[in-house]
Structure 1
């Protein structure tokens, strides 16, 4: 279309044409110019859309990376908490825990002491009713109890009167 438009622009001034032919050439020239402009506009819109999608993709990738980083941090913290909870000694050779033998004492900022047992946290959970999961957990208890992991900081209890409800 660009070549045809150039030809029409070149033909118009060089030849003496009849009025009807000149009008046809001018109409064709204007139509070609409109078509070319529309093609350029479409190309520009497509490029703009590709850039917008690329920016959106990059933003989503950054958000995904941040989410993965947070999930990894939470997983590490959960493993640390589980290890500290599971490191208490057990009275049986199979590694089963009772709440009187294995409790995690916590102290609040007000100085009161409370006890949080392994069974309070885990054994009332419905997903531990699965025998495979229970046997894996008991295996972890036997293996993990030997290391005696201690968390680097104490765990504090949050009392109901210390929590503000802002929902």
Structure 2
């Protein structure tokens, strides 16, 4: 009598594990909790990096690193921040089929401390995480000849992670 219940439980567990092991899905439009913007383009990688750097600098972002060999561009965060651009760390990475853009935004606390959160498509348009995601989306549109897709990546930091640690973690 108990075997069918155990069998059903094992089936559900195995199905859940196999679904978790699958790569994240891409979508043509933002979906709830999306936190990655993928850009497919035929533009040369060095052209994409230069365009993104100019675009970000013109909008008040502070460049942190640019590595043409690895296809990487990041911005830096300032605490205390005066503008949204100073609150966000943008990461653009070249992938085999295009570019992967992610963002971290900070919320400041007492004594010049801050906490980092992943920009994601969640909540009202006025929510900080969605404002940061929309900013990331705007930056992705600056990529020449780019087509946007959306995905979700596991974020390895949360509200209790020190900002310094969150800034170092890839996602």
Shorter-chain TM range is: under 0.3
Which protein has greater RCO, CA pairs closer than 8 Å, 6+ apart?
Answer: 2
TM score, norm. by length of structure 2: 0.27
TM score, norm. by length of structure 1: 0.27
| Structure whose residues are more often helix by fraction | 1
